[in-house]
Amino acid sequence: MEILCIGNELLIGKTLNTNAHWLAKRATSLGINVKRITIVGDYVEEIVAAVKEALQRRPQFIITTGGLGPTFDDKTLEGLAKALDQKLAVNKKALEMIIKKYEAYFGRKMRKRELTPARAKMATLPKGAKPLFNPAGTAPGVLINVKGTRLAALPGVPPEMEAIFEEYLAPMLKKAAGKTAFFERSIHVNGIVESVLAPLIDKAMRDNPHVYVKSHVYTKAKPESEGKRPGIELHLSTTATNAEIAEKQLEKTEHRLISLVRESGGKTDAEKL
């Protein structure tokens, strides 16, 4: 799976990319392997290039966020249409979704008076696209099947993106993952630096090739008079179809790491840090 986040606000640092974090974590929890996260600005050609490049890698899923609204800088649908060599046209189902949303906001008079071209823009989809109802906002999500890849475009507003994902995409991802699930646990160590820890991680992973170990430096609070001290989190993860086997693999790797850390003079969270 690949994630494509669209928006100038992400590139200039105005907005923290919480959508990518949420999607990656949620997809991983469903047993899907996220291989790439890309950010591009609100420019049609940038979106076109990113989508075409992603499709060349033939992932099962591509999920985009951002750029589905009514304003001039919402370019995602135009970019998708151009990348897929499809025409843009008003989708009747999408338009009806939007009308009903605005009727809920403004009443029945909305149907004749309030459906401006900017609002209708949100219903203008690439040919062959399926609109996904947005329970938390106005702009529908979009789903397109492209030669074995399911390409979904979601709004950039986090509650809207999350709502559409859970309603429509989570079941798809879970079905695609089958019995595969993600398992993880962490060990916190202190009294040892990463350069000493690195070969210990290599040893543990050679002994347990199905478990991936990643180190993360963090700061651990000490008494106020002493400030903070650095520590290291060892994150262990594996993907498997059998929970019992996965837990045994993680436990074996955890015990091996604890033993190696102690032999090298470090301490783990099983001891007083």
Calculated CA dihedral for residues 185, 190, 196, 197, nearest 10 degrees: 0
pLDDT(92) > 80: yes
Residue 12: per-residue pLDDT: 97
Query: Where residue 108 falls among pLDDT bands split at 50, 70, 90?
Result: low
Domain topology for 2-177? Molybdenum Cofactor Biosythetic Enzyme; Chain A (3.40.980)
Region 91-100: mean pLDDT is 93
Q: Which secondary-structure segment (H or E) carries 188?
A: strand 181-190
The model's pLDDT over 218-238, given as tens digits with 9 standing for 90+, comes to 876 555 555 556 789 999 999
Lowest mean pLDDT among 143-147, 152-156, 216-220: 216-220
Domain boundaries, the chain: 2-177, 181-268
What amino acid is encoded at 46 in this protein?
E
Task: Report the distance separating Cα 184 and Cα 182, nearest Å.
Answer: 7
Domain topology for 181-268? GMP Synthetase; Chain A, domain 3 (3.30.300)
Full-model pTM: 0.88
Which residues is 152 bridged to in the sheet?
A: 63, 143
Question: Nearest to residue 39, comparing CAs of 54, 25, 28?
Answer: 54
What amino acid is encoded at 250 in this protein?
L
SS3 at position 116: coil
Residues 6+ apart with CB under 8 A from 78: 44, 47, 88
What amino acid is encoded at 233 in this protein?
E
Task: Report the distance separating Cα 137 and Cα 156, nearest Å.
Answer: 11
The model's pLDDT over 31-88, given as tens digits with 9 standing for 90+, comes to 999 999 999 999 999 999 999 999 999 999 999 999 999 999 999 999 999 999 999 9
Query: Where residue 110 falls among pLDDT bands split at 50, 70, 90?
Result: low
